[in-house]
């Protein structure tokens, strides 16, 4: 499917939690965990979406935050839409013991990675963090894949009370890991990076920037001379530690530089 737009048919559309939905299509998408697709919403825009289900009946998981995702949420089974991709650099799966750290909707792109890692025979500890119990998603999917799941919520309504990075730090103190994978809010990822560097653990993290084209032409997702859509969205810890803008500033939809929150 990579290249031009392809029309796909909706085969499933369901709630993941109170604010996130998963939509799946009648196509086989040969993607790596961590890659994304551009979804055309007629009359609105194209939206970049991390692939949350690869292979047969590929799918994406999204949070309803504006006109585009509201239109997407209105699609029903058998409705048609257009998609192009997959794009970007995904995660590299290697042998070893993995620590996967997911914050909020970051689990959407990490779920296929967890499945790929366990399928390869790796041992996986998955830290799944959210603000509240209601915002958690895909914990059962991690468990079904064979990962040891550690749930953390900011308010303690499910699992341990605290931050995903608190659980990460505790696990690093208890177990030996060969590498860390992560996706979540950028402020969380800066702490993940610090912990990985301090413990000499290789890191691969997926980061988010506003994307328009998805192929490295428009410059809207630029970070320190690289493009998240083409050079990322998955970057190594070495890359992230070299980015002066990481965790500090980003370009808004209008192209204005704003502070990362």
- Measured in degrees and rounded to the nearest 5, phi and psi for residue 63 equal -105, 135
The residues with which 203 forms a beta bridge, in sequence order, are 180
Residue 1's pLDDT is 58
Rounded to an integer, what distance in angstroms lies between the CA atom of residue 42 and that of residue 181?
35
- The alpha-helical segments, DSSP class H, found in the chain are 67-73, 107-119, 139-145, 164-174, 186-198, 228-231, 237-242
> Measured between alpha carbons, how far is residue 236 from residues 38, 55, 133, 194, 213 in Å?
23, 25, 30, 13, 23
Residue that wins the pLDDT comparison between 253 and 116: 116
Average pLDDT of span 157-183: 97
Closest by CA position to 33, among listed 102, 136, 131, 133: 102
**What confidence tier does 253 reach under pLDDT thresholds 50, 70, 90?**
confident
Burial classification of residue 223, based on how many CB atoms lie within 10 Å of its CB (0-12 exposed, 13-18 middle, 19 or more buried): buried
Average pLDDT of span 188-196: 97
Burial classification of residue 7, based on how many CB atoms lie within 10 Å of its CB (0-12 exposed, 13-18 middle, 19 or more buried): exposed
User: What digits encode the pLDDT tens for the residues 49-94?
Assistant: 999 999 999 999 999 988 899 999 999 999 999 999 999 999 999 9
Closest by CA position to 241, among listed 183, 198, 212, 210: 198
User: What digits encode the pLDDT tens for the residues 219-239?
Assistant: 888 899 899 999 999 999 999
The residues with which 98 forms a beta bridge, in sequence order, are 124, 179
Residue 248 has pLDDT above 90, yes or no: no
Query: In sequence order, what are the residues at sequence separation of 6 or more whose Cβ sits closer than 8 angstroms to the Cβ of residue 73?
Result: 21, 64
Residue 112 has pLDDT above 80, yes or no: yes
> Measured between alpha carbons, how far is residue 151 from residues 140, 190, 252 in Å?
11, 20, 32
Rounded to an integer, what distance in angstroms lies between the CA atom of residue 54 and that of residue 161?
32
Determine contact, residues 30/37, Cβ cutoff 8 Å.
no
Residue 2's pLDDT is 60
Residue 254's pLDDT is 65
Residue that wins the pLDDT comparison between 259 and 27: 27
Rounded to an integer, what distance in angstroms lies between the CA atom of residue 58 and that of residue 95?
25
Average pLDDT of span 143-159: 97
Residue 256's pLDDT is 76
CATH of 97-259, one of 3.40.50.80, 1.20.58.220, 3.40.50.720, 3.40.640.10: 3.40.50.80
Residue 202's pLDDT is 98
Domain boundaries, the chain: 6-87, 97-259
Rounded to an integer, what distance in angstroms lies between the CA atom of residue 79 and that of residue 134?
29
Residue 3's pLDDT is 59
Average pLDDT of span 119-146: 97
* Average of per-residue pLDDT values in the chain: 93
Domain 6-87 has CATH 3.30.1490.20: no
Closest by CA position to 123, among listed 177, 163, 78, 173: 177
Average pLDDT of span 96-125: 97
Determine contact, residues 101/165, Cβ cutoff 8 Å.
yes
């Amino acid at each position: 499917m990579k290249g031009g737009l392809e029309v796909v048919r909706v085969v499933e559309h369901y709630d993941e939690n109170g604010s996130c939905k998963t939509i799946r299509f009648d196509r086989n998408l040969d993607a790596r965990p961590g890659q994304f697709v551009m979804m055309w919403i007629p009359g609105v825009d194209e939206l970049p979406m991390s692939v949350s289900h690869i292979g047969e009946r590929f799918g994406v998981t999204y949070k309803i935050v504006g006109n585009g995702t509201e239109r997407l949420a209105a699609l029903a089974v058998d409705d048609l839409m257009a998609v192009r991709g997959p794009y970007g650099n995904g995660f590299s799966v290697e042998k070893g013991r993995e620590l996967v750290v997911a914050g909020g909707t970051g689990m959407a792109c990490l779920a296929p990675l967890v499945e790929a890692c366990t399928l390869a025979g790796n041992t996986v500890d998955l830290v799944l963090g959210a603000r509240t119990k209601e915002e958690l998603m895909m914990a059962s999917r991690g468990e079904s894949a064979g990962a040891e799941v550690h749930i953390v919520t900011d308010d303690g309504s499910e699992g341990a009370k605290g931050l995903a990075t608190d659980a990460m730090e505790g696990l690093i103190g208890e177990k030996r890991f060969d590498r860390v994978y992560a996706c979540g809010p950028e402020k969380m990822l800066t702490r993940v990076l610090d912990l990985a560097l301090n413990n000499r653990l290789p890191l691969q993290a997926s980061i988010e920037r506003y994307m328009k084209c998805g192929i490295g032409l428009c410059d809207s997702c630029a970070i320190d001379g690289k493009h998240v859509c083409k050079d990322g969205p998955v970057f190594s810890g070495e890359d992230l530690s070299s980015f002066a803008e990481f965790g500090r500033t980003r370009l808004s939809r209008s192209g204005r530089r704003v502070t990362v929150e």
